[in-house]
Structure 1
Amino acid sequence: MRLLAMATAAMALLAQSLAAPTARSLQRRAQVVHPGDAHDIIITDKNTVNATQKANGTMVPNIAPDGVILPLSFTNNFAGSVNAYVTGLDANNKLVLLQPNGQFYYPPRPSGGVPQLITANVAIPIGGRGNNAQISIPGYISAARIWFAVGNLKFYTVLDGNGNPSLVEPSSANPNDPNAGVNWGFVELTWNAAGVFANISYVDFVGLILSMSLAASGQTQYAGGLNSNAVNLICAALSRQASQDGQPWGDLCMADGSGNNLRVIAPIDYMSTNPGAWNGYYDNYINQVWSTYTNTPLIIDTQAGAGKVSCQVSGGVLYCNGDNRGYNKPSVSDIWGCNSGPFGIQGSDNDVHRAVVPRLCAAFVRTTLLLKGGNVQPSLPSTSYYTTGPTMWYSAFVHQYETSGIGYAFSYDDVNPNGENQSGAVSSAVPQQLSITVG
C-alpha cells in the first residue's frame, strides 16, 4: 500500500509539473547565462547598427521635420522596475540614442578595438508596476528599436570600416554578453516621411513581454504580443518536443543562475554557435517536395504584378516562370534564416525572384508544401501552419502563446494569403501616439 501511495503521489507531482511548468523545473535543459564584460561581446550583423556619417559627440536640441514629433507612451505592468531605451539612425543616418530629456545623444567616435561602453544617460525610467512615462522622439529615425529592461542595459560602440561609430546592441544569443543576465525585449521602429511602422519581433528571441497600440486618424491599431507567462510556457513546450524527436529544442531557453527563464532564442541563432544542430532534420521532407513538384506544378502567388507563376523541378532544381534563376534544395539553416542558399537574394535578381523567395521559404518554415492545397503558395489559412513535422516548432509555439496569434516569429511571417496577418505590425502615415506596455 505504501509503495502504491508513493507511486500515486509521484504521478500526481509529474502531472502537476506538466500542467503548470515553472522556470526551476525546466532549468535542466536551459542554457545558464554567465554575463561578462566588453571582451565577451560577439559582434555580428544582428547586434550592430552602423552610421554612415561621423558623429561629433555633442548633444543637439530637439529637431523635428516640419516641427513634427512622435509621442511615445510607456506603461509598466510587470513586477519590477523597468527602463526604456531608444536607439537608431537619425534623418542624416547618424547614430543616435534618445535621452530622458527628449534630446538625441550622438555617441562620439570610439578609439581602440574593444567595444566602448556608452556612459551617457540614455535610460528612460518608467519605474515600478503601474507607472507610466511619456516622451517624444524629436526627429525621423530608422533602423530603430525601443528597448525595455528590468534593470539597466549596456550599449557599446565600435568603429566601422569607414571610421564611424557603430552601435553594439545587447545580444540575445550570447550567454556571456554583458546584458545576458537582464530580462529585456524590444519593439522595432521606423519613422520617416511615409509615416510610422512598428512591430513586435520574435525573429531572434522571445524575452520581456510587450504589447503595443498606435493611435492614428481617430482609430487605434493593436498588437497584443505574448501571454504574460509565455517564456516559461514556450520553454516547457520546447522541452516536450525535444523528448519526442530528440532535437535540441530545449536548449533554446536561457536561464539565470537561479533557474529563472530569461528568454528563448530562435533556432537559427542557436545554430550560429552549434552548427551541427538539426542536421538532416528536413532531408526527407525536402526530397518529397522535390519529387512531388517534378511532375506537378507548384504555383507561387507573387501577390504583385506578376500574378501567379508556375514552378517545377527539373534536373534537381526548382524553376519558376519569369524568374531569373532557379532554386536548389535548401538546408535547415537556409530554411530557418530565409536569407542564404536558394533564399539569398542578389542585387541582380528580378521582381519575380524577389517575390518567390519569401513565399517559398515561408512554405518550408510552416511545412505546408505537401498539405492539401499546398500546391498554391500562399493560399492555406494560418490554422494549417506547423500542423505536420518536420516543422519550425519555435515559431509554432510563439504563435500558440501570442494573445492574438500575430507577431513575427521568422523573417517572412508577413507572407500570408490576402486578408490574413501573422506579422503583428502597426503602421500609419499620420501617427498620433505609439503606446507600449511591458508585461
Structure 2
Amino acid sequence: MVSRRRFLGISAAALSSPLWAGTLTAPFAMAAPESLRFRLVNNSGATAYAYITGQADADGRVMFVRADGSVYHPTAGGPVPEPLGEDPAIPVNGSAEVMVPRMYGARVYFVTDDKLEFFTVQAADGGTALVHPNFVSDADPNFDKNWTFAEFTLNSVQLYANISYVDFVAAPVGLHLVHAGGTQEVAGLPDGAIDRIASALRDQGGAWPTCVQEVNGTVFRVLNPNHRAGDFAGYMDEYVDQVWQKYANEPLFIDSQRGDIGILEGRVEGDDLVFGAERFGRPTTGDIWGCNSGPFANNPDTDSEERKAIVPRLAAAFNRTTLLINSEQPHGEDPATFYQHPVTNHYARVVHENLPDGKGYAFAYDDVSSNPNEDHSGKVNHGDPELLTVTLGRIR
C-alpha cells in the first residue's frame, strides 16, 4: 500500500495528518527524474494564481518554485512570523507549465481573484519553517479567500500526488499523470460539488452543519469534522461501546498486509482491545476523526511494526463504521457498506458520494483497502513520470 503518510514525508504543510518519512520499496527499476514538468490548468472561470511549495529533497529546506522553474528558499529572522521576501505566485491564465525539482511534503496551491500570503518563522532548530494559509482562524489574511491545494512528493523513487480532503473541501482539483507506458487520472470533485456537500451535512443535523464555513453568506469550505472535534464530543461513544462489547465475545482479525507480520488477532480484555503486546484503549470521537491521538497516536520512532500496521486499519474501520459487520479487517470490506451505520463519518460519506470515481482522501487512512488493486484515496504515482497536470475547476 503506497500511502500519502509514508510518501509525502513529514511536512509543516500537513499538520492535521499523521505523516511520517520512511524508505518505500516500489516496483520501479529506474530512479525518478531530477525534475518533472507540471502543467497547471485554470478552469475556474476566474483569475487564478498557483504556488508550488514544499521541502527540498536534498536538504529539507523550505522552498517555492517560481514560474520560470527556479527555486526560492525563504528565510526567517526570528520567532515572529514575517512575510516572504518575494512574491512566488505563478499566474495561471488558461494554463502554465513549470519544471518542478525533487521535493517532499509539497503542495500545489490555487487561489482565485487574489493572492495568498505566506509567512516564515524560525524553527526550534534555527532553520526556517513556513506558515501556511489557515482555514480555521478568521484572523488569518487568507481565511476569506477561495483557495485549495493538491499534495505531492517527487523523489528518487517516484512521483506521488493526491487530492486531499483530510482538512476540508473547497474549489475542486483534478490530477492527470502521463508516465512511461500510460496515464493515470483522478477526477476530483465536479464543479459545484461544495454546495451539495454543504447541503447534505446541513440536512444531517446535529453538529454536522458546524462543518460548513461561509464567507459573506457564501460557502467557501466544508471542514473535516476533525476541525470541529469539540462539537462532536461523545458522538461516537455508543458505537465504540458496541464494538467493545462485540469483541469481548469474539476475535477481531486485522491483516497487516505484510508477509512478515501476517494476520493479527485481537480481543477486548478489560477496557482495552488487545493484539498480542499491543493494547488500544477506547478511542474518542476526536481520536477517530483525527487518526493521530489517543490509541491512534503515531510514534514512528518507538511504535512496533505491528502497531504501525494495526492503527491505520483500525482507524479506517472506525471511520467507515464497519467493525460491527466485519470482523476481518480490511478483508471482506465492501465499499458499498462503508458509512452505512447511522452514527458514522458523514463528512467522508458525503465527500465520496460526490466524487465521480469515489476517489479522494476524506480522512487520513482513506488509503486502506482490502486489496492492492483497490484505491479509495485518489492518488497518482509512478517511478517514470513525464507530465503531471493539476487542474483547478469551478467552485460553483
C-alpha displacement of 1:265: 1.0
Partner of residue 26, structure 2 = none
The reply to whether residue 176 of structure 1 matches residue 139 of structure 2 is yes
Q: Could you tell me which residue of structure 2 aligns to residue 10 of structure 1? A: none
Of 31, 41, 44, 1:75 maps to 41
Number of residues paired by the alignment? 363
> Counterpart of 2:273?
318
The answer to whether the 8 Å contact 1:100/1:121 transfers is no
Alignment of 1:120-199 (within 5 A): 120-127=86-93, 131-137=94-100, 139-150=101-112, 151-199=114-162
- Among residues 157, 161, 178, which one is paired with 1:215 in the alignment? 178
- TM-align CA RMSD: 1.8
> Residue 187 of structure 1 aligns to a residue in which SS?
strand
- Aligned twin of 1:21: none
- How far, CA to CA, are the matches of 1:78 and 1:341 in structure 2? 40
1-side partners of 2:392 and 2:14: how far apart? Answer: 27
> Do structure 1's residue 377 and structure 2's residue 361 form an aligned pair?
no
**Other structure's SS at 2:50 match:** strand
**Which one has more relative contact order, counting CA pairs under 8 Å at least 6 apart?**
2
Contact persistence 1:253–1:261 (CA under 8 A): yes
Is the 1:47–1:170 Cα contact (8 Å) retained in structure 2? no
Which residue in 2 is equivalent to 1:14?
none
Q: Quote the Cα distance in structure 2 between the aligned partners of 1:407 and 1:320.
A: 30
Whether the aligned pair in 1 keeps the contact of 2:32 and 2:156 (CA below 8 Å) is: no
Q: Which stretches in structure 1 are left out of the alignment for 5+ residues?
A: 1-42, 49-64
Aligned to 2:27: none
Describe the SS at the equivalent of 2:60. Answer: coil
Alignment partner of 2:191 out of 216, 220, 228? 228
2:203 corresponding residue in structure 1: 240
When Rg is computed on C-alpha atoms for both structures, the one with the higher figure is 1
User: Mind listing any 5+ residue stretches in structure 2 that lack a counterpart?
Assistant: 1-11, 18-30
Query: Which of residues 244, 264, 267 is equivalent to 2:222?
Result: 264
AA of the residue aligned to 2:211? L
Candidates 287, 304, 316, aligned match of 2:258 = 304
Contact 2:69/2:99 (<8 A) preserved? yes
Partner of 1:367: 321
The answer to whether the aligner puts 1:86 opposite 2:52 as a matched pair is yes
CA shift digits 1:297-331 (9 cap, x unpaired): 1111111122221111111211113xx32111110
Distance across 2 between alignment mates of 1:298 and 1:66: 40
Secondary structure of 1:364's aligned partner: helix
Structure 2 counterpart of 1:327: 280
1:47: how far off?
8.2
Q: When the two structures are superposed, what TM-score results if normalisation uses the length of structure 2?
A: 0.88
Deviation of the 1:170 alpha carbon: 0.5
Corresponding position: 1:254 with 2:254: no
**Aligned residues of 2:225 and 2:289 also touching (Cα < 8 A):** yes
The answer to whether the 8 Å contact 1:200/1:210 transfers is: yes
Aligned to 1:426: 380
Consecutive aligned runs of 4 or more in structure 1 exceeding 3 Å deviation = 65-68
Shift of 1:218: 2.6
Q: Normalised by the size of structure 1, how large is the TM-score?
A: 0.80
